Structure 1
Amino acid sequence: MTDVQITGVSKSYGPDAPVLRGLDLTVPAGTLAALLGPSGCGKTTLLRIVAGFLRADAGTVTVGGRTLSGPGVHLPPERRRIGIVPQEGALFPHLSVARNVAFGLTGHDRAARRGRTEEMLELVGLGGHGDRMPHELSGGQQQRIALARALAPEPALVLLDEPFNALDSALRAGVRADVRAALRATGATALLVTHDQQEALSTADLVAVVREGRVAQCDTPQEVYRRPADPWVARFVGDAVLIPGTTDHGTATTVLGRLPLASPPAGRSEGTVLLRPEQLQLTGTATAAQGTVTDVTFYGHDAMVTISVDGLESPVDIRVAGPVAVRPGQRTGILVKGEATLHP
């Protein structure tokens, strides 16, 4: 089994252009970890350092106890046993599907190459497609072939560089599920670079939120969403309702009422209280918290209702399932369910 240890990795593209600032990350063996962050935060730079395409200015990268990059050490990419799935598959257009998958199987005889290739094609759900050419495949099929090619040599680590970006939304969810199933079937350790919050939360076992060259939080998708490290992470990973509050005896006093806290601090303190939009419910106006509907955005499976809350400067968003019974300009009450999180 292969774990990944990234310790104190720094990289700058000039004296005034630091990208990675002593980044630390641990990925347990057999885990699919997502590097999630906005453009320019250092995700792709880190991936290129792990792959061996870039040299880090400082820090170490260890995979399965083997140092790939560190003081006085920089293994070339071809010696790292790392498979890479690029953004648009990047299949060799002049090679058949089978020859693309078998490309990295240099130490195998012909029968072993053929057997491994067929095994990988079956794994990604494209058995029988070996004689086709890349241009005869759909975008989703090409991405699955790129994954089969990366997995065929049994790499120590698989890197996926925003591999679903070129796919339309109807294909994306299905291909993501196929890729995740294939990785789990082989027990591969993988790093997925993405700026898509939904993709990270629905696909990965572990989500590392990267901000300005450091990991701001690394945890399971559920914990990152439910208990973000700070308000910035809360806003970046999904929609967030952030309101001021004062805490005392395990609850927070806010304009939305007294809310129980998931991890209440000792004593009395002030801070920002975090709720998710699905924790808020519209109700009749005979409640403590009231406001005026300012906008309704319909998404099909649900809708987002924006409310200007009495006593609060910024409006809040409420996610409503099913038919929406309110319209802009209408008064409504607001109830909160579940626990809130406080950020002092």
Structure 2
Amino acid sequence: MTDTNELHVEGLTKSYGDGDPVVLRGLDLTVPTGALAAVLGPSGCGKTTLLRIVAGFLRADAGTVRLGNRVVGGPGVHVPPERRRIGIVPQEGALFPHLSVGHNVTFGLKGVDRPERRRRAEEMLELVGLAGYGDRMPHELSGGQQQRVALARALAPRPQLVLLDEPFNALDSALRAGVRADVRTALRATGATAVLVTHDQQEALSTADLVAVVRDGRVAQCDTPQDLYRRPADPWVAGFVGDAVLLPGTVDTDGTVRTALGTVPLRALPEGNPRTGTVLLRPEQLRLTGPTAQGAVRGTVTDVCFYGHDAMVTVAVDGHAAPVGIRVAGPLRVRPGEETGVRVLGEGTLHRDGCEPTAL
């Protein structure tokens, strides 16, 4: 068999004792060799439990964990963490304060002579953008630099898999994006397979090759960021990974659906020919127009939230219970209380009420 770095998790089940709720409920996840997968989900969904089982810190009640050609966890099998060839980047770096940066990086290298340890430390520090920092102490580094050192330490033993446990939480927003980009570049340079646990939707979508959304101990959907955003498995996933406009609709025979925002074309005709369903649109598919513009529906602006690069304008529309959010770029020309028109651009995704979502 050819050795790979693919992570394959199958049927993981875990609870923490009698009477406690089940945390994982038959979770399945496959991460191809060299890919960075983000595990995304609300608090309590099982993300950290999954990470700890893959790392070997916890035993699953059922299911298997395979890394490459090796089963490292499963019925009758539990490979200790130190023998799994897995690197871990914890929250806030967790560097050893009494060791230099270079010695932190080489801490996990066993049976390697001193010249090779020094060479590996220099190589890893250069990879994460900290060449020449080997003699510094952790307290002399910024938070972002400490996270880069933690990544270098995880990569130094050349692991098959790197686990990142919400490593950017302690960083301010301005620094976070730069550190994320550096981490992604370093992981790709080494070819390591990686799993990033996060609760930040933007972080998952902008950083990962695959995003697995976990709900109630199972993977609700695992897909590329673009497909996850454009073709969510159900309305809950749609709302969790981004702002969503969900509209009740009635399906016509010509492949369109009638909604409170007018007639919307569908990306695909629904299977089973349902007559009604929930239409998913994204806020960037809506446009503000004049109240009497052709093809637009009339509404009233209820709120405006300005973010700098764009704004979210909330509009109440007749026939729809909740106001709809519209993402607007450029100068704002509306204020709360003003009448406006709303027009839909592009196609919607139809989910059948009470059924599995329509395949696209």
TM bin, normalised by shorter chain, reads over 0.9
1:193 aligns with 2:197: yes
**Match of residue 134, structure 1, among 131, 138, 143:** 138
Deviation, 1:269, is: 2.2
1:265 aligns with 2:270: yes
Give per-residue Cα distances to partners, 1:194-252, cap 9 Å, x unaligned: 00000000000000000000000000000110111001001100100001001222111
Match of 2:115 in 1: 111
Aligned residue for 1:103, secondary structure, equals: coil
For structure 2, the residue ranges without an aligned partner over 5 or more in a row are: 353-360
Count of residue pairs brought into register by the alignment: 344
1:321 aligns with 2:329: yes
1:294 aligns with 2:302: yes
Match of 1:161 in 2: 165
Match of 1:306 in 2: 314
- Cα distance in 1 for residues equivalent to 2:250 and 2:29: 34
**Match of residue 330, structure 1, among 338, 352, 355:** 338
**Match of residue 40, structure 1, among 38, 44, 48:** 44
1:233 aligns with 2:241: no
- Cα distance in 2 for residues equivalent to 1:335 and 1:107: 66
Q: State the one-letter code of the partner of 1:259.
A: V
Matches within 5 A, 1:1-344: 1-16=4-19, 17-248=21-252, 249-266=254-271, 267-286=273-292, 287=294, 288-344=296-352
Per the normalisation by structure 2, the TM-score is 0.94
Deviation, 1:13, is: 1.2
- Cα distance in 1 for residues equivalent to 2:336 and 2:101: 55
Give per-residue Cα distances to partners, 1:133-180, cap 9 Å, x unaligned: 000000000000000000000001000000000000010000000000
- Cα distance in 1 for residues equivalent to 2:52 and 2:35: 19
Which deviates more from structure 2 when the two are superposed, residues 254-263 or residues 77-86? 254-263
CA distance change for structure 1 residues 321 and 46 in 2, over 3 Å: closer, same or farther?
Answer: same
Per the normalisation by structure 1, the TM-score is 0.99
- Cα distance in 1 for residues equivalent to 2:343 and 2:336: 19
Q: State the one-letter code of the partner of 1:329.
A: G
- Cα distance in 2 for residues equivalent to 1:263 and 1:20: 33
Match of 2:357 in 1: none
Aligned residue for 2:107, secondary structure, equals: helix
For structure 1, the residue ranges without an aligned partner over 5 or more in a row are: none
Deviation, 1:268, is: 4.5
- Cα distance in 2 for residues equivalent to 1:241 and 1:188: 38
Which deviates more from structure 2 when the two are superposed, residues 255-264 or residues 326-335? 255-264
Give per-residue Cα distances to partners, 1:104-143, cap 9 Å, x unaligned: 1112111111111100000000000000000000000000
- Cα distance in 1 for residues equivalent to 2:298 and 2:236: 27
- Cα distance in 2 for residues equivalent to 1:77 and 1:283: 59
Coordinate RMSD, CA, aligned? 0.8
Aligned residue for 2:106, secondary structure, equals: helix
Q: State the one-letter code of the partner of 1:117.
A: A
Instruction: Give every structure 1 segment of 4 or more consecutive aligned residues whose post-TM-superposition deviation is greater than 6 Å.
Output: none
- Cα distance in 1 for residues equivalent to 2:142 and 2:269: 52
Aligned residue for 2:181, secondary structure, equals: helix
Aligned residue for 1:130, secondary structure, equals: coil
- Cα distance in 2 for residues equivalent to 1:268 and 1:124: 53
